[in-house]
Chains A and B, each alone.
Chain A
Amino acid sequence: MGTLLRTALRNLSRQKRRTILLSGAIAFGIMVVTIINGFAGSFLENVTENFGQLLAGHIFIEGVERIEPGNEIQIIRDDEALLAAIDRSGVQARYITRRSDVRGTLVFGGRTASQQIVGADWSVESALTERIILEQGSFDGVRAGNGLIVGRPTADLLRLEVGDPVLVRLRTITGQQNVGEFRIAGISFDPGFVAGLTAYADRAYINELLQIGVDEYRQLGILLSTLTEIDEAADRVFEEISRELAVFERGTEDPDSNPISALFEQARTEEWEGVRYRLYTLNEIVSDAQQIVVVLNQVSIVVLVVLLGITMIGITNTFRMVMFERIREIGTMRAVGMQKQQVLKLFLSEALMLAFIGVIAGLVLSAIVMAGLSQIYIGLDTPIFVLLNEGYFTFAVRPGQAVLHVTLVVMFTLTAAWFPARRASELPPVEALRSTN
């Protein structure tokens, strides 16, 4: 076997340029799919982490109060039992947020824009001030009562400047019309996605407009230290909450339905009264993003197959050429006692070595490219910030996918070399020696 591989390697080195071109094509394919694989690997993690910081939590708990059938309000009036349940669950929270949000229409200079206004406790939510990049203004204004931070598109649409007074039409928690008088405290860079439709304010003022108590709020968020804990931590917290408080069941029997929609549907369709709590996770919110990862995986396979298909034609043609070039050599080897199977193995070993060199080169190249890309600071003030980790690209190559790609490369290369190799092995020695090539 060692002799076979050494001979194969020597044969490949006889035509260096050809070997470099063929293994280079394989390396390019491996490099592209490994980068896609690495990007897909970190995509979900980065999206989840970024949304976690914007939404102030990885696990969310909401209280739902039924005033009358068909008339429910979302409010947490007293969180003592909830906090005790979280404590008992043993889940280590990075921090816990309490937010009140409301859908409102901003009115300024005869123009209007619809926004989700998030009321946050700015003394606690330090991560939010790091996540929101202000183009103008400061966070001091929003901490001082009726300040409002809007995104750049909203500011442009309404022609707002920092310091402008803006009216917001909204509804109280029980549905009465209300109007808030805000002052623009800051204009944030447009990060795209849902964050562009969100404005931020102080929770106390939002509570006043919702007509709920100063200590009441609408959503409790638990920010965890690591994303891998989300599902397990959510199960533990839910179990503890459900021991003492009425809850809406998690999960859905229909695998095609969205788990959060199913959770919200329970409040409308089930017979109940009083207060019930619902718990959902960021993983459930970004479940659609998981589909993107599946698509990326499929794309990487298609890219690899297309690239390998093209390379395969090259390999087949090259090996046919090699066979004709070495036809007398094959005849000589067969004449001195080399078996058909050994000729076949020699050609296939050359193909295997070619694939091996290409795979190694491709993996090295992809590592260099990924390392280079992950050193470039893209920044948080970019529409693709949600795909980044602290403003940098990150890559996490999934071993399973990488093994699949390497296996495909080896299979394709061997298949491409198989037919010329078989033809070479089938050549009668006399005919091969008689050849004038």
Chain B
Amino acid sequence: MRIFRTSTVYGLCVLLLVAGAALSAQTPDFDAMLAEIDQLGQFGDRDFSGVYTIVSQVPGQEDSVTQARLFRRDRTDEFVLIILQPQIQRGQGYLQSGDTVYFYDPESRRFERTTLRDSIQGTDAQNRDLVRGNLSENYRVVSWEQGRLGNFDTYILDLEATGTGVDYDRIRLWVRTDRPIVLREENYSATGRLLRTLLFPRYAQVGGQAVPTQILIVDGINEGERTQITLRDPSVASIPDGVFTRDYLERVSR
């Protein structure tokens, strides 16, 4: 009886070990995956620039088109975004220096503090959509499943914020299983309501990094509202230091 009990326990242990090993072999390292996603959108020692066109559609209204030139320097957490269109907002701009983001209005010639969370010119696009993300720092994966999106096998990850420094409490990501490329993102409110859906149908290789060249944002609250962001002229050419300054914003807005 005692021998039987011992062998049963051993057997169960072996079974558990095998099952555990099999399970861990199938479960990807999501922390590493989030870090890879972040890494893929970061330019490290190189600078990045490009022209973004943001088309915002609101039912019953004419489409609004905003065009902006972005200069990014990820290694120092700096960016400058200068509005080129519409004419009435031309010269307005955003400047990130470390943790602080400023908005510059050439009409009042004043810099005002803003955040990465703020929308760009009242569209559904936010400053954070154009600069590098920090998923691995701010979120943890709480559940996952496998699914298919279009032609791609994907991991569907449910992310939960680890702190309060983010805009969305919960995020759901569709990540390609073969490469850490995000194809779809859903942002949820603190009460679990879908706020917006982002689709990333096109990426371009720029300096070895994957940059989305087209983003479609569907508003989850205002039915029918959608925003399309397209990127052209992406470049990793070096940008002069003087660009990431208040002086530059003031100068180019004249």
Contacts and interface: CB of A to CB of B under 8 A. Distances in A.
Contacts of A112: 222
A178 B223 contact: no
A179 B192 CA distance: 9
A176 B169 contact: yes
- Interface residues of A toward B: which range? 10 to 19
B166 interface: yes
B221 A176 contact: no
Contact of B193 (A70, A71, A174, A179): A179
Contact of B222 (A70, A110, A180, A209): A110
Interface stretch (B36-44, B151-159, B183-191, B240-248): B183-191
Nearest to A169: B221
Contacts of A107: 221-222
A258 interface: no
B30 interface: no
Contact of B221 (A67, A174, A179, A211): A179
B182 interface: no
B208 interface: no
Interface in A62-119: 67, 70-71, 107, 110, 112
A176 B166 contact: yes
A176 B99 contact: no
A211 B195 CA distance: 17
Contact of B189 (A70, A174, A177): A177
A175 interface: yes
Contact of A172 (B190, B195, B221, B225): B190
B64 to A, nearest CB: 15
B167 A175 contact: yes
B191 A175 contact: no
Contacts of A179: 189, 191, 193, 195, 221
Contacts of B166: 176
Given A110-B223, A167-B221, A179-B221, A174 B191 contact: no
Contacts of B189: 176-179
Query: DSSP class of A's interface residues: helix, strand, loop or mixed?
Result: strand
A181 to B, nearest CB: 8
A103 to B, nearest CB: 13
Interface residues of B, number: 24
Contacts of B195: 169, 177, 179
Interface string B95-120: 00001100000000000000001000
A176 B222 contact: no
A278 to B, nearest CB: 20
A107 B124 CA distance: 14
B167 A178 contact: no
B191 A178 contact: yes
A110 B224 contact: yes
A45 B101 CA distance: 43
Given A110-B223, A167-B221, A174 B164 contact: yes
B161 interface: yes
B150 interface: no
B207 to A, nearest CB: 32
Contacts of B193: 179
A71 B167 CA distance: 14
A180 B195 CA distance: 12
Given A70-B99, A209-B191, A177 B223 contact: no
A174 B169 CA distance: 11
Contact of A177 (B164, B168, B224): B168
Nearest to B225: A110
Given A167-B221, A209-B191, A176 B164 contact: yes
A169 B225 CA distance: 15
Nearest to B59: A110
A174 B163 CA distance: 10
Contact of A176 (B100, B161, B224, B225): B161
Contacts of B60: 110
Nearest to B99: A70
- The winner among B99, B161, B189, B224 for most chain A CB atoms within 10 A is B189
A230 to B, nearest CB: 33
Given A110-B223, A175-B165, A176-B169, 15 more contacts: A67-B164, A71-B165, A110-B58, A110-B60, A110-B222, A110-B224, A172-B164, A175-B164, A176-B168, A176-B189, A177-B169, A178-B189, A178-B191, A179-B221, A180-B191
16 contacts: A107-B222, A169-B221, A172-B164, A175-B117, A175-B164, A175-B165, A176-B161, A176-B166, A176-B167, A177-B167, A177-B189, A178-B189, A179-B193, A180-B191, A209-B190, A211-B190
Interface of A: 67, 70-71, 107, 110, 112, 167, 169, 172, 174-180, 209, 211
Interface of B: 58-60, 99-100, 117, 161, 164-169, 187, 189-191, 193, 195, 221-225
Q: Which 9 A-B pairs have the closest CB atoms?
A: A174-B164, A178-B190, A179-B189, A179-B193, A178-B189, A176-B169, A176-B190, A172-B190, A177-B189
